[in-house]
Amino acid sequence: DVMPTLDMALFDWTDYEDLKPDM
Amino acid sequence: TDPCYDEAGAPQRCIPEFVNAALGREVQASSTDPRQTHPAAFLTDASAAADRTCWRSETLTRTPLNVTLTLPLGKAFELVYVSLHFCSARPDSAAVFKSQDHGRSWSPLRFFSSQCSRVYGRPSRAVGQAPAQASLGSIVPRGPEALCSEPPPRTGPLLAFSMQDGLPPGQDLDSSPVLQDWVTATDIRVVLTRPVGPRATEGGVVAPYVYSVGELQVGGRCKCNGHASRCVADTQGRLVCDCRHGTEGPDCERCKPFYCDRPWQRATAHEAHACLACSCNGHARRCRFNMELYRLSGRRSGGVCLNCRHNTAGRHCHYCREGFYRDQTRVLSHRRACKACDCHPVGAAGKTCNQTTGQCPCKDGVTGLTCNRCAPGFQQSRSPVAPCVKIP
C-alpha cells in the first residue's frame, strides 16, 4: 500500500515555531 | 588531410616545410651605400645568379671595417644552414651570431677567419675535424660551440655553414634538448669584420673597401616542436605556428588551457605527445595539472577539473555535490545529471541525501526517497518533531 504523503496542515507548530519551514 | 593526424585520426608528429627563412624579410644593415641603389632588401629577394641584385655597404676607409647585417626571422626557426653569396670579394673574417630572444641577447654560431685566434680568440679548426674530446659526453652537456675555420677556398663567392658542422655523427634532434637549443634562432646577425687581401691593414686609413652581398639565406624550418605543419600570420601579422595536438603558443610550446591532463612535450618521430583534454564530463571549462596525481596514475592522467558546474563535484566532475544525487535516467555528461535531494522539511532528519541513490535520512517511522510518507504501521501525528507514530 502506498501511504499518503505527509500533510503539512495537520502539524501543530505551537511549540516549534523555530522549526517551521517556509510553506 | 591534416599531416598532424594519421588516417585513423591519431595524432602524429608534423613539421613545417623546409624554407629559406630569410626570404622577403627585412635586413637591418649598419652601413648601406647611400645612393640607395643597393638597399639591404636586395639581401633577401632571392634574386637568381644570372641577374643577382646586391646590397652594398658604404665605402669604408678607416678601421675597424665592421659592418653588421641583422635579420629578424619573426619567430623561432630550427636552422639547418646559413649562407652568404658575396658580390664583392669574400671577406677574410666574418662572424655569424644567433638570438633566441628576438635580439635581446646574442650567441655565436660560426666564425670564419684566416686568423681565428687573433681575430676571434678561438682555435682554428677545419670543418669535419673533430674537437679535442669528440664524444657525446664532452660536447652535449654544455652544448655545441661555435667553430672558427678559414673560409673554404673552393666555394667561390659563397660563405656557408651547416648547423651540423663539428658535431659528432649520430646526433638526434628528437632526443637532444641541447641540440634543439643549438639550432633554434629568432634572429641572425652577420658581422663582416676583415676585408680580404692587402686592404686588411690594421689601424688608421686603409684603401677604400666595400662589402657587397647578393643573398643571405637561412635554411630551416619554422619551429613548432612537432605540433604544427605550417606557420601562418596571426591577427597582428606575426608569424606563428598553426598549432595542433591541443597545443598553443608561437612555437606550440605549451598545452592549451583545458588540455593539461599530462605535461607538455615535444613530439618525436615515434610519439606525438599530444596534449590531452581533461576529463570533466562536460561540466568544467578549466582544469589544472597535478604532478602528484600524474605520478600516482602511472604517468597517464594528472588533470583536475576546476569549478565543476551543474551541481557536480570531484576531480573529473564525476559525482554530485552535497545536496544533490545522481539521476540514473540521464548520462553523466547531461547538465541535469544531478538532481536536488528535495528532502521533506518535516519527514527528513537532514537536507543531504545519498549522492548516488538520492535517499534522504528519514526520521523514525518515516519512509520514501524524500521521507515524505509514514511507513507501514505508522500514522501521521501532529508533532513536527515525530511526524509519524506507531499505530496503537
> Measured between CB atoms, does A7 come within 8 Å of chain B?
yes
Give the CA distances from residue B183 to residues B132, B173, B179, B227, B314, in Å, rounded to whole numbers and listed in that order: 22, 9, 6, 17, 44
Report the residue of B363, B366, B380 to disrupt the A interface, i.e. the one with the largest count of A CBs within 10 Å. B380
Longest CA pairwise span in chain A (Å): 34
**pLDDT digits 0-9 by tens, B306-364:** 999 999 999 999 999 999 999 999 999 999 999 999 999 999 999 999 988 999 999 99
Q: Is the pLDDT of residue B15 over 80?
A: yes
All residues at 6 or more sequence positions from A7 whose CB lies less than 8 Å from its CB, including other chains: B380
Q: Please name the residue ranges forming H helices in chain B.
A: 116-120, 136-139, 177-183, 291-296
Q: Is the pLDDT of residue B45 over 90?
A: no
Interface contact A6-B367, CB threshold 8 A: no
CA distance A21 to chain B (A): 6
CA distance A17 to chain B (A): 10
> Measured between CB atoms, does B370 come within 8 Å of chain A?
no
Please give the residue that has the higher pLDDT: either B227 or B204: B227
- Average pLDDT of the residues in B8-15: 96
Per-residue confidence at B135, pLDDT binned at 50, 70, 90?
Answer: very low
pLDDT at B288: 95
Q: Please name the residue ranges forming H helices in B165-250.
A: 177-183
Q: Which long-range contacts (CB under 8 A, 24 or more apart) does B329-336 make?
A: B332/B281, B333/B281, B333/B282, B333/B283, B335/B282, B335/B283, B335/B309, B335/B310, B336/B310
Give the CA distances from residue B350 to residues A19, B152, B345, B359, in Å, rounded to whole numbers and listed in that order: 12, 88, 8, 11
User: By the 8 A CB rule, do B317 and B301 touch?
Assistant: no
CA distance B375 to chain A (A): 7
> Measured between CB atoms, does A1 come within 8 Å of chain B?
yes
- Average pLDDT of the residues in B34-58: 83
**What is the grid cell recorded at B90?**
669574400
Query: CA-CA distance, B140 to B182, in Å (whole number)?
Result: 10
Burial class (CB in 10 A: 0-12, 13-18, 19+), B68: middle
pLDDT at B132: 46
pLDDT at B204: 60
Q: Is the pLDDT of residue B83 over 70?
A: yes
Interface contact A21-B367, CB threshold 8 A: no
**pLDDT digits 0-9 by tens, B176-201:** 899 999 999 999 999 998 877 655 55
Query: CA-CA distance, B231 to B383, in Å (whole number)?
Result: 75
- Which positions 372-391 of B are in contact with A (Cβ < 8 Å)? 372-376, 380, 382-385, 387-388
User: By the 8 A CB rule, do B184 and B192 touch?
Assistant: no
User: By the 8 A CB rule, do B4 and B225 touch?
Assistant: no
Q: Is the pLDDT of residue B131 over 70?
A: no
Query: CA-CA distance, B27 to B329, in Å (whole number)?
Result: 66
Q: Which residues of A touch B383 (CB under 8 A)?
A: 11-12, 16
Per-residue three-class SS string for B39-84: CHHHHHCCCCHHHCCCEECCCEEECCCCEEEEEEEEEEEEEEEEEE
Give chain B's mean pLDDT. Answer: 90
Report the residue of A6, A13, A16, A18 to disrupt the B interface, i.e. the one with the largest count of B CBs within 10 Å. A6
Query: CA-CA distance, B208 to B61, in Å (whole number)?
Result: 5
- Its ipTM equals 0.90
How many C-beta atoms surround the C-beta of residue B19 within 10 A? Answer: 14
Q: Which of A4, A6, A10 is closest, CB to CB, to B347?
A: A6
pLDDT at B198: 56
**What is the grid cell recorded at B46?**
632571392
CA distance A5 to chain B (A): 5
**pLDDT digits 0-9 by tens, B103-126:** 999 999 999 999 999 999 988 877
> Measured between CB atoms, does A9 come within 8 Å of chain B?
no
Nearest to B213 by CA among B88, B376, B129: B88
**Percent of the residues in chain A that have a pLDDT greater than 90, as a whole number:** 4
CA distance A1 to chain B (A): 8
